[in-house]
């Protein structure tokens, strides 16, 4: 399973479902999902998302922790961050039915991993590594692997690799840099060669993106190091069609495929923007890049790439009969005493206000400045979908939508009210203003 493979490396915020499917379409044999902390997964609720045809693991606030689909079930490797063998086992048993394998992150050099005794912090704790891997192998029917970085000394690195091999893992991925080496520094191919020479399990080369421009380059790296497979991160981020044989397509073409999957699987706006930040050549020029990434509405980004019609078509198909029936019952229950606000708004629009002045705060300031009484906010919930309500003096407003927590629902009703009454909403980080006042309507409920 792990020999002769061209593999997508796990990447935080990038390696979500849309990006993984894009890489698979262009020839990746396996795709590693972005790392999920095992403790976080154990707090999640699993749901079968019939609208998207996915299996979703949702955080306590309704956010997606991990999403997968049958299109990748035999190709996706779930990577966890963990420091406790029992926690690792529980998380693996929870996720195993939906993935092709389980991987333990033992190479992440970020502070949050080190402080949690995870990632690269494990490299100097071979006994703990063995306990975690042995526990996983004992409870999992799917292959278990791990991904490490090299240590400061060759001797320590080779010793660690043999310790890991002794646990019975299916493969070992090795990033040819230490936890302190920057990605701009060359990968240590010599140590990969030496590791492979002493190992009987598949060794996966990682860290070669600086020397990769196409699939042929990957093949040459496998030959150069003797590795069984190769795992690519940044080179795939620059152009996800890097796996295509013989040559990748244009970045813009690859980005359009990626964005279609983003529409299909409701990629959050902040993830979409973050991923786009490394696509080389996706924009005509720097100014276009700045203008597009400043948009606070997902559909405007899709419009730039010629996918506006597709976005609208998919969005219209997602009107759920169940949700509509629920809304009708709710209107009957509440009677004629409130107004339903309607606007082109999704949770991803509201996420762009994170860390800035949010719509609810903007509205509260405007109401106070214009002599209104202090507003009241509340929500109702049905099947983990929230509706936000706003009362100003004697008028009550509701904002219906697919909002997965109370905070988002109340921000949504504030946002919609501001649009209806032409209260300027400024994205305080970029200076961008919303331009969709004309798309907002208000109608009596009932």
Q: What letter would DSSP give residue 433?
A: B
Q: Residues near 372 by Cβ (< 8 Å), separated by ≥ 6?
A: 392, 393
Nearest-angstrom CA–CA distance, 242 and 28? 9
| Cis peptide, bond prior to residue 246, ω within 30 of zero | yes
Nearest-angstrom CA–CA distance, 24 and 71? 9
As a 3-state breakdown, the chain gives helix, strand, coil percent values, each rounded to 5, of 45, 20, 35
Structure tokens given for 318: 């997602």
Backbone angles phi, psi at 388, to 5 degrees: -95, 145
Choose among 45, 123, 29, 110: nearest CA to 83: 123
Choose among 370, 327, 352: nearest CA to 425: 352
Structure tokens given for 63: 């956010």
- 97 forms beta bridges with none
Pair 440, 340: CB distance under 8 Å: no
- For the question of residue 262 being annotated catalytic, the response is no
Q: Identify the three-state secondary structure at position 225.
A: helix
Q: How many CB atoms are closer than 10 A to CB 338? A: 18
Catalytic entry in 23, 44, 108, 418? 108
Pair 96, 141: CB distance under 8 Å: yes
Q: What letter would DSSP give residue 9?
A: P
C-alpha distances (whole Å) from 174 to each of 9, 153, 233, 243, 376 are 11, 15, 13, 20, 55
In the chain, how long is the greatest CA-to-CA distance?
78
Active site amino acids? 108
């Amino acid at each position: 399973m792990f020999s002769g493979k061209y593999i997508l490396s796990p990447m935080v915020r990038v390696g979500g479902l849309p990006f993984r499917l894009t890489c698979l379409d262009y020839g990746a044999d396996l795709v590693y999902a972005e790392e999920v902390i095992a403790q976080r997964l154990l707090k999640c609720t699993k749901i079968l998302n019939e609208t998207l045809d996915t299996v979703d693991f949702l955080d306590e606030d309704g956010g997606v922790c991990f999403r997968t689909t049958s299109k990748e079930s035999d190709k996706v490797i779930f990577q966890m961050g963990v420091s406790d063998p029992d926690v690792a086992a529980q998380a693996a048993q929870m996720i195993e039915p939906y993935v092709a394998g389980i991987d333990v992150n033992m190479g992440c050099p970020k502070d949050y991993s080190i402080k949690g005794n995870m990632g690269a912090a494990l490299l100097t704790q071979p006994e703990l590594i063995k306990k975690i891997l042995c526990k996983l192998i004992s409870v999992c029917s799917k292959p278990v692997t791990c991904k490490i970085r090299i240590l400061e000394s060759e001797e320590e690195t080779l010793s660690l690799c043999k310790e890991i091999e002794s646990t019975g893992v299916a493969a070992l991925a090795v990033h040819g840099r230490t936890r302190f080496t920057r990605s701009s520094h060359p990968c240590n191919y010599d140590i990969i060669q030496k590791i492979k020479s002493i190992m009987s399990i598949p060794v996966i080369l990682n860290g070669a993106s600086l020397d990769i421009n196409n699939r042929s380059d990957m093949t040459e790296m496998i030959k150069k190091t003797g590795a069984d497979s190769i795992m690519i991160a940044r080179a795939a981020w620059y152009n996800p069609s890097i796996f295509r044989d013989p040559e990748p397509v244009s970045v813009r073409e690859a980005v359009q495929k990626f964005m279609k999957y983003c529409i299909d699987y409701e990629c959050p706006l902040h993830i979409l923007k973050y991923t786009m930040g490394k696509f080389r050549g996706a924009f005509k020029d720097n100014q276009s890049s700045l203008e597009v990434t400043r948009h606070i509405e997902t559909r405007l980004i899709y419009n730039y790439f010629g996918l506006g019609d597709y976005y609208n078509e998919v969005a219209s198909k997602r009107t759920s009969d169940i949700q509509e029936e629920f809304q009708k019952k709710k209107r009957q229950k509440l009677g004629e005493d409130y107004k339903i606000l309607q606007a082109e708004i999704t949770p991803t629009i509201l996420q762009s206000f994170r860390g800035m002045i949010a719509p609810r705060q903007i509205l509260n300031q405007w109401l106070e400045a214009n002599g209104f009484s202090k507003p009241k906010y509340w929500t109702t919930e049905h099947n983990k979908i929230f509706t936000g309500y706003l009362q100003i003096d004697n008028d009550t407003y509701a904002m219906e939508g697919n909002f997965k927590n109370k905070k988002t629902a109340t921000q949504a009703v504030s946002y919609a009210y501001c649009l209806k009454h032409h209260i300027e909403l400024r994205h305080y980080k970029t200076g961008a203003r919303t331009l969709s006042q004309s798309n907002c309507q208000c109608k009596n409920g009932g």
